[in-house]
Structure 1
Amino acid sequence: MLFVCSLASSALIGGFAHADEQVNAEASRLMLARQAQDSYERGVSLTDLDPEESTLAFSRSADGWRRIITSGVENGRLWTNLGNAELGAGRLGHAIQAFLEADRLLP
């Protein structure tokens, strides 16, 4: 009986650990999305004032959106965000690829 209880509690604790990992992964992706959006908005605001810094901000934004996508979350909105950031960073080919992927995923 003790073994069964111990095994059950181990499974339960393991389940909680897995849930914690999922929560941490979601929190990490949410933080990345906020940073990517902030970088994008910074890029927009600096477009005329400081084009070089604007390009760097767009590049940071694209890196953030790409990290979220490569973490396993994939939807058309993320690809659209990546495309917009790549376009702002001056990487037209990458922007087109992202927009095509967004088009494929969006209804």
Structure 2
Amino acid sequence: MATSDPEVDRLWEAFHASVNMTGEELRRWLLTDASGEEAFPADGDVSVEGERIVQLLDKRRGDVTDDDIELMERVSRFVQEELAEPRPQDDAWRRRMMRVGHDPLSPDSGPSDT
């Protein structure tokens, strides 16, 4: 995918604004019991979104595939929708957010009034 594609550039920026955890932070989180069973299955199935997000975070913008673009769009939309009504005291909500690489308790989680 060419790095000069404006749509890819827009999605890349939106994705990286939505995902406020590094690939390593997300990988460590997904390996914990707190993340939930569906995060990193024992058989190593890389079709799981958490693992795909980790892999995407390790990529350069010019190396994204069409599948990556679709994932960036889904993750960005999910995070924005969830942040519209934040529930930081809800552990299940926080775990769902963290499974896609967004820690809602991080200082850079969203608008300062949330």
Which structure dedicates a bigger proportion of its chain to helix?
1
**TM-score, with structure 2 as normaliser:** 0.27
Which structure has the larger Rg? 1
TM-score by length of 1: 0.29
Q: Which has the bigger relative contact order, CA under 8 A and spacing at least 6?
A: 2
